[in-house]
Chains A and B, each alone.
Chain A
């Protein structure tokens, strides 16, 4: 791999031991990929805090949080002092919500360990956003900006809806990018990696949040890691719709980038979206595909008594919390059911100021932050059947926790929470 003089200096220790370890990992990683160079990035989203008993024990035995950061973030057995970050860096979601340890099933000891780790991350200069949707709370990349982000739903949103450039990075590569402002110049950083390779035409209107989730789930299952170009979009989708669409497509498949012709920034025309590529195949999405996808997502739902309704995957927008509050106002969550809504801390603050938190809590629901049920593996005690308005969560919860899942609209989910029953199809 070609390195600039500045990169060679970092590798050789000019900026300290931790930066040298970070550059060493990025070189090994770039060479593994077959990248020819590194690219500069000033916008990194990753995870540097420690939340598990395994990491707590590692810290105790090997030399504290510096040892954890050295091993798990820099891939270094030598313990180096954790420096401040050089790139603007945002923290992604966690394995639990530290404000709700009882519901999350974590001990006070682990919460205290996490708080030390969060303070250390903040001291490094990492923004404690603690969300899978950093683009909602202060980190909106611009078109063409090179990023180093992990979290598949955020990656597909940044590449596709915003026109920024990132691969799906991991814990170690994002941490090394935070310290060096570099990431391998490969894949979606390069023009040729971003062009469409196959086509999808919409034969039916795709309009609601539910519609976009179903379409995304169908599309991801077909295209896997390839870049689809979608034609036939009749109504321009807003933030909650594209957030759900990308999350669904990156769960059933590995979609990191898509083009919606006439909507997304690198697809003003069909020709631009393909950039000279020929579509290897074009498929149509119609009423039959939609119905089959809904049936597939709901395949393991048999018991209509709903124990738990989870909303906020990916983390809810303030618009979605407003909608949920309107649907809940004056109603009560059923005695045999529970409602948890997940959102970034900053959006919960707005919801509280607007009175939505009070409405949701008066109904018996909870607004939580920092995590979700899939990340935390936490659900209300005794939960066997869950209702969800997220195709991604409906993909993961049955696999991770062995639950039955029902997928539908937000209104159907709120209705299930208030009646304790799944009444939709």
Chain B
């Protein structure tokens, strides 16, 4: 690990616990639906409500997703893992205990790679274990009471725990983004942070460089990357202030308030620290045979890291571009289709990172929403490649493809008359005329002002309504000026 960036002379130490909701149709221990946004308690079946006599039965789909995650991060898939009960009383916890994994989790070790300022970094994972989500307490007032909705209770979660390897809020965000990209890429989590499908808890502490780890405070349920960074930054300053004032830091669970931008300690669950974990007698050990692991491995998509490496080697993309092309599986697929349709790889990458991302970001849309299919983009880029249109003209063509007014590249070029003028003779005549009309610029050029030359090129482009090939135009101008 590189030398850590210090904050007011303190080293920041961050570890993560991320709860990723797994994209199963039914709950982890019952046959109720996991669909989001249903009427309160309409998706909480007898098992989810912990009605007397009900029992849990584990969902195979949740285990499959855990296995795929484990393989993706190079972890050990435990051949035998144990479900345990975490006992505490809370209204959104219907059984009075959460079924989780404690001593022997299903995924052990592994690491997640990410880029920090263009540098490849990675964080070590301690474990990832299966558990059930809790319900929700709705705090809007019911005559001084809270309402409990158990629709979310029993939704499968993969809790992914890192070593305290992260050293700044920026690094924490990069890790969280890389993890988010991975679980969505694998199709094991929909990644919808607004709906709580991907929730981060950050364990934050500070220390003098070289000193033993400081007391950590856990910031719970950070559901946006921006809040995550704000919350950690505030928490770090808060802890340093305490230490500077000679005050102790007590281990605590804190919540981030996006409105104030501050963290504050939770008041509930304080006396519930003794969780009395023990193996759940309703659930014998989870046994995962090597054949099962291999079946999952065979069905997994190429991982973003491997794909980016391939784009660098096979397509000659720079590392940054390759990373951008693999920001999501859909993005990568778009890039590959356009490239395979005969457009130059680097040019496709530039357009995806530039024109297309710019337009998509304007509406917060993903590549799935791009109105111009990759094959059509490829057709346009081929015309740039063979010199039929300039980049400027290509942008105009793209506009009409995007707006949907046309879907045939060559037709648009023709109808808008955007074809580049490649007739050297005609261009030379126009260039000569431009020089004659702009003696001032010519003088300045001769006096050594490059700006003046650009002005002349501009005049030629203007005279040709942009149809001239700028490269060719400046070539001819230099010749004439030299002559």
A binds B: no
A residues with CB within 8 A of B? none
